[in-house]
Amino acid sequence: MKLGSGKFGNVYVARERRSHFVFALKVLHKKQLIKHGVEHQLRREIEIQSHLRHVNILRLFNYFWDEKCVYLMLEMAPGGELYKMLTEKTRFSEARSAWYMRQMVLAIQYCHKKHVIHRDIKPENIL
């Protein structure tokens, strides 16, 4: 099942055959990565994300590639994008907004302690 799509590929629900472990499989097309000159950025993102362990940061379990694609095995985010929830509800209560802000601040503080800066924090990237 397809969860979403982006500039470089798509995200699907996947299940490991033996253990039945469910995860999000992000499939990135190498042609698109090369076309936009982001191969180094992807390598760096994989390196960084594979070391982050925080309840509010999606975990990168593993990655692999073939001649056409790079595959990222990511933790599932069952709630979906904050952006989608916000557009459906048009607004959140003050209490709910405060809860989301707290979760984001905790994640950002953790990243900063690890000397990681996100550079693209927006509702579409909050899951």
Q: How far apart are CA 127 and CA 125, in angstroms?
A: 6
- Catalytic residue of the set 120, 122, 123, 126: 120
Is 77 annotated as contributing to ligand binding? yes
- Pairing between β-strand 60-65 and β-strand 9-15 as defined by DSSP bridges: unpaired
The pair of three-digit structure tokens given for residue 94, joined into one six-digit string:
């003050």
> Is 66 marked active-site?
no
* β-pair partners for 42: none
Is 125 annotated as contributing to ligand binding? yes
Is 124 annotated as contributing to ligand binding? yes
Is 101 annotated as contributing to ligand binding? no
Give the chain's radius of gyration (CA, Å): 16
Q: Which residues are catalytic?
A: 120
Annotated binding site for ATP: 7, 26, 75-77, 124-125
Annotated binding site: 7, 26, 75-77, 124-125
